[in-house]
Structure 1
Amino acid sequence: MKDRFALLLASFWWGSLTTTGFLVVPMAFAKLGSPVVAGNFAGQLFAAQTWVALGCGIALLTYFRSKMVDGVAPAVRIAISLIVVALLLALMQEYAVSPRILARNNLKLWHAVGSGMYLAQWALTAVLLWRMAPSAQKRAA
C-alpha cells in the first residue's frame, strides 16, 4: 500500500509540473491578453507548484527513508538524490529566481534560468516516476 501511495505522489508531482508549466501557463499568456496579468497569474501558479513539490517531495523522502533498513540500496540512493535535487530546484526557483523576475531585474536572463530550472525539476520527477513504476507493477501482478 505504501508503494502505491508513493507512486501516486510521484505521479501527482510530475503531473502537476506538466499541467502547470506546459498547459495552464501558456494558455494564460494566450488568453488573458495582458502579459502583465498573465505573468502575475503564472507567478502565483508557480508559487503554488512549489508547495505541491515540497509536500510530495517530503512525503517521498519519508517513504524512501523507511526503505533504508540495512544500509542504502543504490536504487534508494538514486531516488533520494533525484528528490533532493528537484526540491532544491523548486526552492531556488521560488526564493531566488522568482523575486528577480517579479522585479523585472534582467528579465530575459532570469526567465531563462527559471524556465531551465523548472524543466530540470520536471525531468528529475519524470525519471523518479519512471524508476518507481516498474517495481510497483511487479508487485501488483
Structure 2
Amino acid sequence: MRQLPIWLAAAWAMSLTMLGFMVVPMLFVHLPTPAMAGQMAAKLFSAQTWISVACGAMLLMTFRSNRLLVPVESARAATLFIVGGVLLALLVELAVAPRIVARENLALWHRWGSAMYFAQWVCALVVFKKMISALLPANAGSDVQA
C-alpha cells in the first residue's frame, strides 16, 4: 500500500508517454488517411484525459488519507504538479479538442493542444520523480554485499 502513489504516478506518466509518443504517431503511419488517424487519435486522447483525472484524483486522495503514505513535504511539492497536469488534461479535452475536431484554425489549436499535452506529461514525470524520491530508500539495492 505504501507504494501506491508511485504506481499511480507511473501509470499516469507512462500512459501519456505511450499514447503521445508511440500510439498516435503509429496511427498516422499505418491508417489509410490522416483523417482516420485523427479521428482515432481524438478518441484515444479523450480516454487519456479520464485516465489522467483518475490518477490525479487518486494521488491526491493518498495524500489526504488517515494513513500517511507520502511525507507531507513531498505531498505538498507534488500537489501543484498534479493539479496542474489534471487541469491541463481537462483544458485540452474541453476547450482545445473540440476546436481541433471542428477543424477550426487547425494549426493553431493543434499547436496549443500539443503544448498542453507536453506540459501535462512534464507534470506527470515530475510527480513520478517526487514519489520515487520520497518513497523509495535512497540506497535501494546498495545493501547487496560482494
TM over 0.5: yes
Q: Is the 8 A contact 1:54 1:87 kept in 2?
A: yes
Higher normalized helix content (fraction of residues): 1
Q: Is the 8 A contact 2:28 2:34 kept in 1?
A: yes
1:124-135 equivalences in 2 (<5 Å): 124-135=123-134
Percent identical? 46
Considering only aligned residues, what root-mean-square deviation do their CA atoms show, in Å? 2.0
Report the CA distance between 1:6 and its aligned residue: 1.3
Distance 2:119 2:48 in 1: 14
1:27-47 per-residue CA deviation (whole Å, 9 max, x = no partner) reads: 000110200000000000000
Distance 1:21 1:119 in 2: 9
The alignment's TM-score, normalised by the length of structure 1, stands at 0.91
Secondary structure, in 3 states, of the residue corresponding to 1:138?
coil
Letter in 2 for 1:28: L
Distance 1:73 1:139 in 2: 18
Bigger Cα displacement from structure 2, 72-81 vs 25-34: 72-81
Q: Where in structure 1 are there 5+ consecutive unaligned residues? A: none
Report the CA distance between 1:134 and its aligned residue: 2.0
TM-aligned CA distance change 1:68 to 1:119, over 3 Å: farther
1:76-87 equivalences in 2 (<5 Å): 76-87=75-86
1:1-141 equivalences in 2 (<5 Å): 1=1, 3-66=2-65, 73-138=72-137
Distance 1:81 1:67 in 2: 21
Secondary structure, in 3 states, of the residue corresponding to 1:104?
coil
Q: Is the 8 A contact 1:13 1:52 kept in 2?
A: yes
Q: Is the 8 A contact 2:74 2:131 kept in 1?
A: no
1:56-102 per-residue CA deviation (whole Å, 9 max, x = no partner) reads: 01000111123798xx9443222111100000000000000000000
TM-aligned CA distance change 1:107 to 1:85, over 3 Å: same
Structure with higher Rg: it is 2
Q: Where in structure 2 are there 5+ consecutive unaligned residues? A: 141-146
Letter in 1 for 2:114: S
Report the CA distance between 1:121 and its aligned residue: 0.3
Letter in 2 for 1:49: Q
Q: Is the 8 A contact 1:6 1:63 kept in 2?
A: yes
1:91-141 per-residue CA deviation (whole Å, 9 max, x = no partner) reads: 000000000000000000000000000000000100110111022221995
